[in-house]
Structure 1
Amino acid sequence: MPLRPFHLRTAAIVSGGTFIDGYLLGAVIFAFPAIPAGFGMNSWWDGLVAAAPLLGVVIGGIVVGWLTDRVGRQRLFTFDLLLLLVGSALQLFASGPAQLGVVRLVLGLAVGADYAIGPALLAEFTPRKLRSSVMSSLNALWAVGYLAAAVVGYVIVREAGDEGWRWALASSAVPAAVVLLMRVGAPESPRWLISKGRGAEARAVVDRWLGSNVSLDEAADTAEQRPWRDLFGRAMWRRTLVGGLFWTALAVPNFSLFVFLPDVLNALDVRDEFWGTVLPLAFAVVGSLLGLAVLPRIGRRPALLYSMGVLAVLSLWVGLLPGPAWLTIIVFVLFAVVLALAGNLEFIYPSELFPTALRASGLGVTAAISRVGAAAGTFLLPVMLDHGGVGAVMVATAATLLLGMVFTALWAPETNGVSLEEAGAPSPASGAEDRATPSARPAP
């Protein structure tokens, strides 16, 4: 079917959640260095508090992903935004690093919930031929949110005095309130309704939002209840792990490296912290938009493999062959563009790896796996900078990306241009057949 206003509205309310996730993390960039010494922060607390939302994503993604496949997408779609709104405001009242870390852990729970719900809902509403482009909007808005938070945080910290860092962190309450209002009244996924044997309700949703002339194959997604452990069963375990591991390889530099980018650049003798930070983040938005055009034309596997290879080379370049400040900024700009382009697949690809009965659970688990790695990297980066220097940080980043390449080459199936029913239905004997290209599969 063609793209309709409803698809754009759904993309907007789902990508609003990823905008807030990017905003939550981007607000840290200039807020953390402005926290006064009396608050009790140090390199260990910097890492712990920065990693807290990522650990929250682990819990929220697994628990809410499982719950979403059982009670539905729509019921939980507004609750997680309410939690984001309240948690954002509570950052104003934190009296020490431990309290701030707990609040940001709760914010991570809400983000993990949104990762499980939003992409599943959007993938299940989006026409197959437009899935790559529409789903890429999630990462594009994440990059916009990250950039917006960095700029807003920089201004607030400079203009609001000693308490400016609190207002920079709490400013995420504004987009959370806007997206919460936008989500009121969002419909349930027809695919999920069909998978639960509720075909008449699915037909009613399609008639109201997409039109009565739209056909609905009620047999396509009908399936018995699938237990969560099936994600690690013989037919699915490779998909679950490769989904989490490729996401980890991209998330580690995205979170650890860019959250502490001013510190990394300072260690590389780049003294203009604003432009050195904001310019790569601005080009990350360009990379995400470039992905909208590029990803539908190439396969998932080639996009991931080439991107991670380029990123590993750039990381080693900075770590082993540091150059003048202007060259370092150019390399980080290129790094940001390629990382953002590949990052579009963080929301597209996991949505295609699992059947409807396990899609939200699979999204939650793969997001959780990625955030375990990202949390470890975010916690360790300030410590590594203090003890090993920027060279060790960049070499470790390259090693993570190369490891992601290996698992992608071994296990990643090609799902570009394939219907969700085919893409999410691997053979029990995974392996070479699971990596078949769409042209080798039966016609949809």
Structure 2
Amino acid sequence: MAPAPKWYQDVTAYQWLVVLIASAGWIFDAFEGQLFNIQRNQMLADILHVAPDHPEVRRWGDIFLGVFLVGGSFGGIFFGWLGDRWGRKPTMALTILFYSVFSGLTYFATSLWHVGALRFFVAMGAGGEWAVAAALVAEAVPRHARAHMLGLFHSTSIIGTSIAAWVGLAFGADWRLTFLVGIVPSLLVLWVRARVEEPAAWHAAKAKAAAGLAAQLGSFRDLLLNPRWAKRAIFGLLLAAVGLGTFWAVTVAGQDLAKDFLLRHGVPMAEATQRAKFAYGNIQALGSGLGMLSFGPLAVRLGRRRTFVLYHVAALIVVPLTCFAPTSYGTLLALLPMYGFFTIGIHAGYAVYFPELFPNHLRSTGTGFCFNGGRLLASTMLVFSGWLKALPGMELRTAISLMSLLFLFGLVFICFLPETKGQPLPE
């Protein structure tokens, strides 16, 4: 018997180019989001005329994080809809312009309302780019390579985070120049306009809608009132809310978890802070990247639903294990890659799965609705997690373990969604 062909066989140069361009947009999407996290203390200290460790700096930093979440949710849903109505190619170009130009304009910010407004618009572009790019890749690549290439597309966000960290190091406390660099991704629009072709699936959907043979492109009425699509949209949103909620409550807390462990074992604050940054930014991040890269191949072998179940169950086990099992810093470092692998690796599943749930005329709208509606719902977990961790007598590791119980809900929500392995995209 002849061996089964490799997934990358018969993938054309143009199809690889689409993945490369979509990934570049997603890389810079993550890059723009992380610039604020890296420079917010110095920027807000300068604008407020206080020291970087002043309580007002943290308070406004958290407020603007909330603004970013809301802006990303609104932009993801709006641009997802526009991607169906207007086309994948021009909408992706517009989202890239949004996040890069408004990030660059932060150079001129002199007041808090400037920062808030600009972060909202940056988030709109960032949220929209993912939804449109995921739909574009799903439609452009062959069925047998779809899961691998969508997983690869989503995994590249790690590169954007690393670039942002290096830019932050290069410019140090000069936050204005750091944000000015954020305008560079706008050049990517030229590449999008020159090389990307509108998928045939979108043209077919447009022709059917014009002839009255199908619902209107990007119809929220069809998405939310058609029982077939509405069920997928609602449970897809809830599934995403689990992963995005645990991202803020559990995954990002890996750095604080490492710091708390070191402090409890007598390590001085300054040393504990630096070692915790290393643990989170290098060790846990490595596992996170591998987790995202692995989702696509596992989804091909096991199916989409079983792979989601695997990641959710594993996270339920690994998170409390990482919180309570380590007796040495070395043991903690050994567990953190698995912690990142399952808690953030699950996010690549949304890029693989959501475009497969919806027909051509709703693909970008449905994908954006699931991911960014989930982001908006998950923002409540950010508030609840902060409240839980601040309770008198509450240990950080206990609070993180309790928040990991959210993965149980993911196991419930996936039961109401279909298996799409090996199936053509809905028309």
Q: What is the TM-score normalised by the length of structure 2?
A: 0.83
Contact kept, 8 Å, 2:107 with 2:177, in 1: the verdict is: yes
Select which of 348, 363, 370 maps to 1:366: 370
Residue identity opposite 2:289 in structure 1: V
Select which of 202, 208, 223 maps to 1:231: 223
- Return the alpha-carbon distance in structure 1 between the equivalents of residues 296 and 397 of structure 2: 33
- Provide the secondary structure at the position in 1 that maps to 2:405: helix
Contact kept, 8 Å, 1:253 with 1:397, in 2: the verdict is: yes
Aligned pair 1:399/2:405, yes or no?
yes
**CA, structure 1 residues 141+380, in 2 after alignment: closer, same or farther (shift >3 Å)?**
same
Select which of 188, 201, 210 maps to 1:191: 201
Structure 1 residue aligned with 2:352: 348
Structure 2 residue aligned with 1:21: 29
**Greater Cα shift, 345-354 or 377-386:** 377-386
Structure 2 residue aligned with 1:93: 108
- Return the alpha-carbon distance in structure 2 between the equivalents of residues 273 and 33 of structure 1: 18
Residue identity opposite 1:308 in structure 2: H
- Return the alpha-carbon distance in structure 2 between the equivalents of residues 258 and 391 of structure 1: 12
1:229-258 residue CA offsets vs partner (Å, 9 max, x unmatched): 222232222211221122221222334545
Structure 1 residue aligned with 2:156: 141
Residue identity opposite 2:422 in structure 1: G
Select which of 276, 284, 304 maps to 1:273: 276
Q: What pairs with 1:192-211 in structure 2 (closer than 5 Å)? A: 192-197=202-207
Residue 371 of structure 1 and its aligned partner are, at CA, apart by: 0.9
Residue 296 of structure 1 and its aligned partner are, at CA, apart by: 1.8
Aligned pair 1:419/2:424, yes or no?
yes
- Provide the secondary structure at the position in 2 that maps to 1:302: helix
1:310-351 residue CA offsets vs partner (Å, 9 max, x unmatched): 112222334555654333333322111223432221111000
Aligned pair 1:302/2:310, yes or no?
no
Identical residues among aligned pairs (%): 22
Structure 2 residue aligned with 1:317: 321
**Alignment gaps of 5+ in structure 1:** 200-218, 425-444
Contact kept, 8 Å, 1:46 with 1:379, in 2: the verdict is: no
- Return the alpha-carbon distance in structure 2 between the equivalents of residues 395 and 89 of structure 1: 39
Select which of 376, 380, 405 maps to 1:376: 380
Q: What pairs with 1:6-17 in structure 2 (closer than 5 Å)? A: 6-17=14-25
- Return the alpha-carbon distance in structure 1 between the equivalents of residues 253 and 35 of structure 2: 11
**Greater Cα shift, 91-100 or 257-266:** 257-266
Residue 111 of structure 1 and its aligned partner are, at CA, apart by: 1.5
**CA, structure 1 residues 352+311, in 2 after alignment: closer, same or farther (shift >3 Å)?**
same
Select which of 329, 334, 359 maps to 2:338: 334
Contact kept, 8 Å, 1:68 with 1:76, in 2: the verdict is: yes
Residue 364 of structure 1 and its aligned partner are, at CA, apart by: 1.5
Q: What is the TM-score normalised by the length of structure 1?
A: 0.80
- Provide the secondary structure at the position in 2 that maps to 1:184: helix
**CA, structure 1 residues 255+178, in 2 after alignment: closer, same or farther (shift >3 Å)?**
farther
Residue identity opposite 2:188 in structure 1: V
**CA, structure 1 residues 391+260, in 2 after alignment: closer, same or farther (shift >3 Å)?**
closer
Residue 96 of structure 1 and its aligned partner are, at CA, apart by: 4.4
Structure 1 residue aligned with 2:90: 75
Residue identity opposite 1:58 in structure 2: S
**CA, structure 1 residues 223+161, in 2 after alignment: closer, same or farther (shift >3 Å)?**
closer
**CA, structure 1 residues 111+29, in 2 after alignment: closer, same or farther (shift >3 Å)?**
closer
Structure 1 residue aligned with 2:267: none
- Return the alpha-carbon distance in structure 1 between the equivalents of residues 383 and 119 of structure 2: 14
Residue identity opposite 1:72 in structure 2: G
Residue 181 of structure 1 and its aligned partner are, at CA, apart by: 2.9
Structure 1 residue aligned with 2:269: none
**Greater Cα shift, 142-151 or 124-133:** 142-151
Contact kept, 8 Å, 2:27 with 2:159, in 1: the verdict is: yes
Q: How many residues are paired up? A: 395
Residue 6 of structure 1 and its aligned partner are, at CA, apart by: 0.5
Structure 1 residue aligned with 2:240: 247
- Return the alpha-carbon distance in structure 1 between the equivalents of residues 112 and 399 of structure 2: 24
Contact kept, 8 Å, 1:47 with 1:381, in 2: the verdict is: no
Contact kept, 8 Å, 1:27 with 1:149, in 2: the verdict is: yes
**CA, structure 1 residues 139+116, in 2 after alignment: closer, same or farther (shift >3 Å)?**
closer
- Provide the secondary structure at the position in 1 that maps to 2:346: helix
Residue 420 of structure 1 and its aligned partner are, at CA, apart by: 0.4
**CA, structure 1 residues 22+264, in 2 after alignment: closer, same or farther (shift >3 Å)?**
farther
- Return the alpha-carbon distance in structure 1 between the equivalents of residues 173 and 286 of structure 2: 27
- Return the alpha-carbon distance in structure 2 between the equivalents of residues 323 and 44 of structure 1: 34
1:370-426 residue CA offsets vs partner (Å, 9 max, x unmatched): 211333334555555444552354134312221112111x212110111103xx6xx
Q: What pairs with 1:78-157 in structure 2 (closer than 5 Å)? A: 78-153=93-168, 155-156=169-170
Residue 68 of structure 1 and its aligned partner are, at CA, apart by: 2.3
1:112-140 residue CA offsets vs partner (Å, 9 max, x unmatched): 22123111111111111110111112211
- Return the alpha-carbon distance in structure 2 between the equivalents of residues 19 and 121 of structure 1: 16
- Return the alpha-carbon distance in structure 2 between the equivalents of residues 384 and 94 of structure 1: 34
- Return the alpha-carbon distance in structure 2 between the equivalents of residues 417 and 130 of structure 1: 10
1:13-38 residue CA offsets vs partner (Å, 9 max, x unmatched): 11122212222333344434555645
